[in-house]
Every structure is written in C-alpha cells, then in structure tokens.
Structure 1
Amino acid sequence: MTLDAELNHERDVQTIRQLLENWVVWRDAGDWKRFRTVWHDDGVMMATWFQGVADEFIRVTREGWDKGVSILHFLGGTSVDLAGDRAIAQTKMTISQRALVHDVWVDVVCTGRFYDFLEKRDGRWGMVLRQPIYEKDRMDPVSPSARLELDAATLAQYPEGYRHLAYLQSQIGYQIKKDMPALKGPEVEALYARGARWLAGQPL
C-alpha cells in the first residue's frame, strides 16, 4: 500500500468512526436534523422493535421520544473493514431502556454489536444498513426494594440474547422481531456472509 493509499485508508476509517459516534450522540440527544445526515437516502434500520427505512425510523423514534420512551446507547471498540468505497463496521455497544413493567420501573441493558453496511457516495460516507447483533441482556428493578415477577412463558418466546429487552418492549406495545442475529447461530452467520458479499461489490 502506497503512502497516499494508507493515508486515505486511515482518513476513511476515522470518518466512519466519527459517523458511528455521531449516530449515538445525535440520536440519544434528539438532534434529529443532524441524525439524518449519517444515513444515505436508502438507508435501512433493523431493530427488535422496528425494521424499515431511515426516514421512517427517525419519525417513529421521535414519536416515542415525545411520549417518554427512554432508550440510550453506549459504544465500545470499533473494527472497520474497507473495500474501496464500501465498508463493514462492527462496534461493541450496549442498549439501555427504562420502562414500567408490571407496575415496576425497570432498566434493561443489552450488550451486543452494531454491524453496519456503509458506502461512500459522491465523496460522503453514509449508512446503508444497520443490523444490531444481540449477545446478552438483563432486567433489573430501578428500586432495589421492588419485587418483579416476569411471565416465564412470555419471556421464553424471545431469543436468549435479547429476551428481556423484547419482554419490556412488548409490554409497552411494540411488535418484536424474533429472529435477530445473536452471538452464535445461523442468523449471525448469514449476516457475516452478507457483509462479505457487500465488501465484494455485490448488492444488498
């Protein structure tokens, strides 16, 4: 790799890292105008409670924000694989959501990774697809003295990696997608294969 190519590579990686950090800061702060800029026009968001295009994701997220839905994110390390004007980024993250479940205020923390498909178009990097990978989660009462009892049959309906998050979200009215990628299994293997095809230049 020439010096110029190496510098361009590092510049692209840094730009992508900043984009991923901006996604979390602007989304969690309700800075919707700037949040829109991290997406390409055809960008798609996949989540336990929503699957669709970025503009619709922003609309329903804003509606939830206005109703008091509390979902926050925290990022860890990032790994970026570059292939020309395309990239796959994986970022360690936690999703934290607070809500009332069976008349008890609870916090759910879900640990996983954001698996992002990105592309540089007209000189600008943007997100084409964000697919979280859900690895493990837990639910705790906000008050240590509170007593919380979950319905075991309902909890068991959801995959292990995000079953408490899904339980909470179903309690506040969301329809939950039950085949999201986890740490292991056919769903995450299919996602990795899709990422490899993206880097090889194939369409999503």
Structure 2
Amino acid sequence: MEETSDRAATEAEEVADRRRIRELLQNWVVWRDAGHWERFRTVWHPDGRMMATWFQGSGDEFIRVSQEGWAKGVSILHFLGGISIDLAGSRAVSQTKMTISQRGVVEGVSCDVVCTGRFYDFLEKRDGRWGIVLRQPIYEKDRLDPVTPGAVPQLDAALLARFPEGYRHLAYIQTRIGYTVKPDMPGLKGPEVEALYARGAAWLRGAPI
C-alpha cells in the first residue's frame, strides 16, 4: 500500500513538473515578445544562456540586447507549436516547435522572414523552481516574402549562400541590419544537431553542459 502511495506521489509530481515546464516555455514567448522584461527574466536561471543566430550569451545580456533592438525598431516575433519534454528528476530537456518571424527592409524592400524550427532547451529545477539553463534553437527551414505584393528585392546571392539552408534568409536580413550571424547553428540534419542531441542526453544523465 505504501509503495502504491509513493508511486502515485511520484507520478503526480512528474505531471506537475511537466505542467510547470510547459507554462515556462509559453511564458518565454509571450513575455519576450510583449517586452515584459522583468517577468521574462524569471524564466532563466542566473547562469542561463541563450544561443541565437544573432546573439550568444547570458539570459541577462539577451534581455539587454533585446531591449536595445526594441528601441531601434527591430521586429522579431515567435509562435509556438507542440512541446515534447524528457524529464529526469530535477533536470529536463524540451523540444518546442516554433516559428521566428522578423520584419525588416531587405535591399530597399520591406519583407517578412519566417523561420520554422524548434527550441531545444536544457532546464533544471533548483529550490523548487524550474528555469532555463540553455536555449538552443534548431533552424529547419525559412522563407522571405515582400510585404507589398509584386515588390521583389534583389538579393546578394553570395551573401545568401554563406549561411545554412535552415536559416539563410533570416541570416540575410539580420546581417543587413547590422548583426553578426553565427554560421554553424544546428539544422534539421547534420553533425551540429546530432551533437546537440548528445549534449541533451548527457544533461539528463547528470553531466554539465
């Protein structure tokens, strides 16, 4: 009877942990895109890090540069899909289907770039609170569309070809507005994403990132 009770308590705690993680992942997008910076800060652990095409650094630094981008009119929005969570005690790895939508001027033409991929997150429960230790997006495919129908930007083919297929149009627009874009982020396939999966598995086994 005691064993059954213990198992039920463990299962209930796991259900609660999964709910808390889902809520955290949803809050990340809503609070970041709405500019609720102090609430957004609570989804990170103090040592949490963000990896993106245009930025790699701490959660606090990410908030700062995001605020600076807002002030300059940089428009980046996120939308979420399905969430998968691998849970191992006080550690978790989650994968969340997402799109990144960025609007900007490309070669004189206002355009939207939409990139489809996944957020791959390393999470940990500390003092009863889940937080992000590392967020690494996986970039699967993207496209560029002019905001005004019929307008056609003349892209620099050499610049476009510098970046992986999964985020080359996103990298193009970010480069054109002055960001330095990381050229080796993980995509749908390849050694970069396989190495990320291996890091995730090691994290769940208790290894450091």
Interval of TM-score (by shorter of Structure 1 and Structure 2) = over 0.9
Counterpart of 1:85 (choices 78, 83, 90) is: 90
User: What is aligned with 1:104?
Assistant: 109
User: What is aligned with 1:38?
Assistant: 43
How far off is 1:145 after superposition? 2.1
State the 4+ residue runs in structure 1 displaced beyond 2 angstroms.
Answer: none
User: What is aligned with 1:143?
Assistant: 148
User: What is aligned with 1:179?
Assistant: 184
How far off is 1:31 after superposition? 0.2
Describe the SS at the equivalent of 2:154.
coil
Once residues 83 and 145 of structure 1 are traced to their aligned partners in structure 2, the CA distance between those partners, rounded to angstroms, is 52
Q: State percent identity of aligned pairs.
A: 73
User: What is aligned with 2:55?
Assistant: 50
The answer for unaligned runs of 5 or more in structure 2 is 1-5
User: What is aligned with 2:77?
Assistant: 72
Describe the SS at the equivalent of 2:12.
helix
Largest Rg, 1 or 2:
2
How far off is 1:149 after superposition? 1.4
Once residues 39 and 81 of structure 2 are traced to their aligned partners in structure 1, the CA distance between those partners, rounded to angstroms, is 22
Once residues 57 and 153 of structure 2 are traced to their aligned partners in structure 1, the CA distance between those partners, rounded to angstroms, is 33
Once residues 7 and 61 of structure 2 are traced to their aligned partners in structure 1, the CA distance between those partners, rounded to angstroms, is 42
User: What is aligned with 1:62?
Assistant: 67
CA RMSD of aligned residues (A): 0.7
1:5 is matched by which residue type in structure 2?
A: T
User: What is aligned with 2:160?
Assistant: 155
Counterpart of 1:29 (choices 12, 19, 34) is: 34
Once residues 150 and 137 of structure 2 are traced to their aligned partners in structure 1, the CA distance between those partners, rounded to angstroms, is 33
Counterpart of 1:188 (choices 170, 178, 193) is: 193
The answer for unaligned runs of 5 or more in structure 1 is none
Describe the SS at the equivalent of 2:149.
coil
User: What is aligned with 1:4?
Assistant: 9
The count of corresponding residues between Structure 1 and Structure 2 is 204
- The normalised TM-score by structure 1 is 0.99
User: What is aligned with 1:168?
Assistant: 173
